[in-house]
Structure formats: structure tokens, C-alpha cells
Structure 1
Amino acid sequence: MKRVLALVALLPSIAIAQVELETEMFEVVEVQQDNGISKVEWIAPDNIVPGDKVGYRIRFENTGSEAADNIVLNNPVPDNTVYVDGSARGANTNIVFSVNGGDSFAKPEQLFIEKNGQQIQAQAKDYTNVRWTLTTALPSGESGSVQYVVQVK
């Protein structure tokens, strides 16, 4: 687990909000239940091999004394993995993607890549980054999380 401290300045006041981030990694597995229905579970990673799915959960908490506004979380799709289409989640967030290493972001229908000299619609496998923008301020003492899943090549 990785803990990161981010400072978000609230202008024009002098108040400072502190937002702490923690990234957790899980192995995403399908488990057969007694009733025959399968269920997806996020478990502690054991031995990740090509074809396995890995989930990332980014927890955030406002440890400052003021509300934190304009919070943006940006995570890369790790090397040797591909983003699993539709897996990004986050309550009260706008989710966008990048296909150019995070230089620019857009909704999936607005993303294009060049292939054989032509611009074509980007697919989930082309995504290089996932970005969540919180749509509301995060009050002091409050927390939340966002998540996404990748598949190992």
C-alpha cells in the first residue's frame, strides 16, 4: 500500500485542506458460490500471472480543517496491463480517460488513436490513464474511494 499526502489550497482564503491518498491493489477473482452463481471478489494478491485481473482502489480522506474542493485523482494503467472496460467507479465523480500518457483526457466516445495513418475510435485496451474529478467538495473528516480494474497481458 502506498500513502500519499496532497495539499489542496483553497483560494482566496488562507485555509488549507489536506487530502491523504492510499492506493490498494487486489486480485480480482470469480468465485463460484454454493448456489451455483458466480461472484466477483477482490482478494489479497497472491501470484499474479498473465490473464489475471488486478483491481486498484484509491482511498482519499480530507484530514484538514476545511472542505477540499476541485479534487482530481489521476492513475496510470500500469505497464503490461490493459484497462478492463467499464470497471472505473467512483461515487460523485466524473470519470475520463487518456490514450496519450495523461497529456489530455476525455470521455470514451471522444477518444481517438492513430492506426495505419487513420484516426480510429480508441478502445479500453488503448487507455493509458484514468482520471476521477470529484463533483462536490469533500468536507473535513470525510473520505471516499474510487477504483478500476486492469488485466495482465
Structure 2
Amino acid sequence: MNRIILGAVLFWATTLWADGPLSSKMETYLVSEKNGQEEMVASQDASPGDVIEYRLVYTNEVEQPLSGLEITGPIPANTAYLKGSASTDVSTEFTVSIDDGSSFEAEPVTRTITGPDGQTQNVIVPPSDYTQLRWVPENGIQPGQVLEYRYRVKVQ
């Protein structure tokens, strides 16, 4: 069976950053079904067709609120974002990128294309074309608060 290593993203998954007022970590889980129930297991490799859930976890380590946060989640090469899988428990502005983070837009992302007959039409860019996701929490992060952002990708 061909298995791929999730590489740098999994290195991220085991790293904890805490050199400032905000600590962060990225966790990676292989999503499967067992006896009709969804099961998640921490994993460092995946095969084509597997679903991976990323969890970005941020903790405010200081005694004052932090604002101006932009939480960005990568969508690794050879994976595709699963539509509607992004979630968090706090109010945020959620945007996506289709150009490796050069710009971010609210969903649905649309583009104008010109057909062979010269007619133009707006089309929705499929979520599988997303390259990054971004959350901007509306209320920042309070002292001691832990925020978690989740999303899933499918290995191609």
C-alpha cells in the first residue's frame, strides 16, 4: 500500500511554540470509521483516500487579552480541503486562499471565465482548489483562553 508522509506539516503537528504571549500547536489525526462511529488516531502518515483532521490550538499565556490574531491553516500538496469541515467554537471571520496565501476571500470563491463563444460567466471555485484557510477571531483571545480551529483534507 502506498503511504505518504505528511512531511513538514506533521513536524508542525508535534511542535509547540511558546516563545511569547501566545503558544500554539498543530495536531494531526487520521479519521476513520469503526463500527459506524467516527474514530480519530494521531498519525504521521497517510494513504491516498485517507481523511486527515488538523487541529490548530492557541493558548494565551499572559494576563491580558491578545488581539489582531490571524490563524492560518495550510492545505498540503497532494491533499484537498473537504468542504464545510472548517470549524471553531468562537466567532470568527473565515476566509480561504486559492493562491498560496497571497490573498484571502470569503466563501464561495468565484471567478469570471470566458467560454469558447466569448460569453463570460461566474463560476464557483471548488473547495479542492483551496490552498490555505484563515480565521480571524472577532474578540481576540482572553488571558488563559485556549482556542481550537479544525479542518479536514483528503489525501489524493
Q: CA deviation at 1:137?
A: 2.6
Structure 2 unmatched runs, 5+: 1-13
> Which residue pairs with 1:96 in the alignment?
95
Q: Which residue of 1 aligns with 2:132?
A: 129
Residues of 2 paired with 1:80 and 1:120: CA distance?
A: 24
Equivalent position to 1:25, from 28, 35, 51: 28
Deviation, 1:6, is: 6.9
Which SS does the other structure have where 1:79 is aligned? coil
1:55-104 CA-partner distances (Å, limit 9, x unpaired): 10011000022111121101110111000111000122222111011111
Bigger proportion of residues as strand? 1
Identity %: 24
| Structure 1 pair 41–61 and aligned structure 2 pair: CA distance change class (3 A) | same
RMSD of aligned residue pairs (Cα, Å): 2.2
TM-score (norm 2): 0.79
Structure 1 residues 82, 68: closer, same or farther in 2, change over 3 A?
same
Tell me, yes or no, if structure 1 residue 2 matches structure 2 residue 15.
yes
What are structure 1's unaligned runs of at least 5 residues?
A: 8-17, 33-37
Aligned to 2:107: 108
TM-score (norm 1): 0.80
